[in-house]
Every structure is written in structure tokens, then in C-alpha cells.
Amino acid sequence: MNYYYSLEKILLECNPKVKIKEFKFFYNNFLANKLYFEENYKSYELEEPSYLGVLKVVLPKNAKQRKYVNTKEGKINLLHTIAHIEYSAIDLALDASLRYQNMPRKFYKDWLEVANDEIRHFLMIEKLLEELGSYYGAIEVHTNLFEAMKKTPDLLSRMAIVPRYLEANGLEQNPKIMDKLNSNPDKFNIKILSALNTILEEEIDHVTKGDIWFKYECERLNLEPEKTYLEILEKIYPGCTTKKQNLNIEARKKAGFSCDELKFLTKRDNCN
């Protein structure tokens, strides 16, 4: 079974259930060392998100701002938003596992493992949506994470932006959502909290993987990681490094962020 062409087919699959089923088969074969990396594979160019034909898609600027309140509708809005983040993260991990060739096997193992985690997260949230009588696709979605994919075709910027910036932001946003749910801990909120806690713990591991491979590429290109990281952030999201940020310091330390990075981003004199 070939690696690149099989994975490309999975990434481009528009039906979530089919994508997940095919990935599970592929991943099991990868873990069993039954795949081979074909030579001269030509990377595809993904011009539109894989979910375009099955979801109601709007541009990020046209996405409606929805309130996440402790009502059934609010919970559906919250869960649908999280489900779309997790589903988009599946494609981002698959893309990383496919786009960058001639990497150490550990690289592919890491990002396929991330894809497998994101699938599990998505299925957890989808199940909660269904318990509320809704489903993934019931609400329009935006393409924020897909746009990030398009803006970061090279390995260096991809590792800086996706795990070390976008997913790292989840280390702050997730606890904020959990605090709001804890303020009204009904039976269903407790279920959501359990799922979010699992996602938060595994997000730290995903950011750590991004940190490892970002620094791997910096070393290969003879670049200084901290300076390079801030330069890439400013290039992709101008102004983001000049704002004072309230970060989950302990989680980011676990994920590999240096004290100097954290002090710069928080505009503080220490990283405690």
C-alpha cells in the first residue's frame, strides 16, 4: 500500500464518515509498517477545503458571531464551533503528513498520531451534538484554519503557525470556555467539560510536536528559533506580537515555549 497517494485520497475526501473510516485503515497499516513511501510523488495543491461540498461554508469575515450561553441553542453553537475546529485540524494534520517529503519517519508518525487524536476529539463532540438533536453541518462554518493552511506551504511556517500559534491559542481559550461552563455545571455541561479537558491535555502534546519540528527545521536552516518564530507570526498575522497576551504559561512551558518567548508575548518581566 503506498503512502502518499493513499493519504492524498483521504485528505481530499469530502464525506467525514468516509474520511475517518479510510484514515483508520490507513493508520493501522502505517503502524504495522505495511506502507511504502513512493518516489517522485508530486505534491497536490489544495485550492478549497475538503468539506466545501458538504457543509455550508462562508468566508471568515461573513461568519455570524454566535453567543455560547447556557441554553440548548447556545450549547449547540459551542459544540458545532468546536467540532469544526477539530475537523479542520484533522485536515491540517493530514496535510502535514502528506505535504512534506523526505522527513524522518518520526515526523510522519507524529502528525498521523495528531490526526488520529483530532478524529477522536471530533467524534466526541459530534456525539454530544447528536445528543442535543443536532449534527455537524447544521450551522454554517468558516474557513479560518483552511486559510492558515494555504498561507503556510513550507514546513517552517506551518510548524510555527499551526501548532505553535493557532493550536497554542487553544491552551488559553479552552480554559476560558471551561470556566464559563463551570459557572453553571448542569449534567450536560459536565459532559462538555470532560471532553474539553481531554482536548486540552492532548493539545499540549500537539503543540509540543510542533515545537520539536519547528526547531528541527530551524536547525536545518541555521536559524535562531525565537527570532524566527516572531518574524513568521508578524508576517502571517501582522500586529499579533505587539499585543500584550494573557497566556497559559504553564501549559506553554510544557509544550516547549522558552521563558524569553513568553515574556515577550505577555509583555512581562518574568514567565512565572
| Predicted confidence (pLDDT) per residue in 7-51, tens digit | 999 999 999 999 999 999 999 999 999 999 988 888 787 889 999
193-211: buried (b, 16+ CB within 10 Å) or exposed (e) per residue? eebbeebbebbbbbbbbbb
Nearby residues of 158 by Cβ (< 8 Å), 6 or more positions away: 96, 99, 100, 149, 152
- Report d(CA 16, CA 123) in Å as an integer: 10
CATH value at residue 75: 1.20.1260.10
Give the pLDDT confidence score for residue 180 in this predicted structure: 87
272 in a structural domain: no
206 in any annotated domain? yes
153-190 pLDDT, tens digit per residue, is 999 999 999 999 999 999 999 998 998 888 877 889 99
Structural domain contains residue 165: yes
| Mean pLDDT, rounded, for 60-75 | 76
pLDDT in tens, 250-261: 999 999 999 999
**Taking residues 198-206, what's their average pLDDT?**
95
Q: Averaged over 196-204, what is the pLDDT?
A: 94
Which of 211, 198, 197 shows the shortest CA–CA distance to 254? 211
Amino acid at 180: K
- In tens, the pLDDT along 226-241 reads 999 999 999 999 999 9
Amino acid 66: pLDDT: 67
Structural domain contains residue 25: yes
In a domain, 44, yes or no: no
**Rounded Cα distance, 179 and 173, in Å:** 10
- Over residues 127-146, the mean pLDDT reads 94
**Residue bearing cell 447544521:** 138
Q: Give me the pLDDT at residue 234, please.
A: 94
End-to-end CA distance of the chain: 49
Q: Is residue 139 part of a domain?
A: yes
Task: Enumerate residues 6+ apart whose C-beta is below 8 A from 81.
Answer: 66, 68
* Structural domain for 119, as ranges: 4-35+51-266
Enter the DSSP assignment of 224: -
Q: Count structural domains, the chain.
A: 1
Q: What is the Cα–Cα distance from 127 to 136, expressed in whole angstroms?
A: 10
Within a domain: residue 207? yes
Question: Average of pLDDT values for 241-267?
Answer: 92
- For residue 51, the model assigns a pLDDT of 93
Does the structure show a pLDDT above 70 at 245?
A: yes
183 part of a folded domain = yes
| Cell matching residue 202 | 492532548
CB contact at 8 A, 2 and 30:
no
pLDDT in tens, 72-129: 898 999 999 999 999 999 999 999 999 999 999 999 999 999 999 999 999 999 999 9
In sequence order, what are the residues at sequence separation of 6 or more whose Cβ sits closer than 8 angstroms to the Cβ of residue 91?
11, 49, 50, 145, 146, 149
Instruction: Say what percent of the chain tops pLDDT 90.
Output: 76
pTM exceeds 0.75 = yes
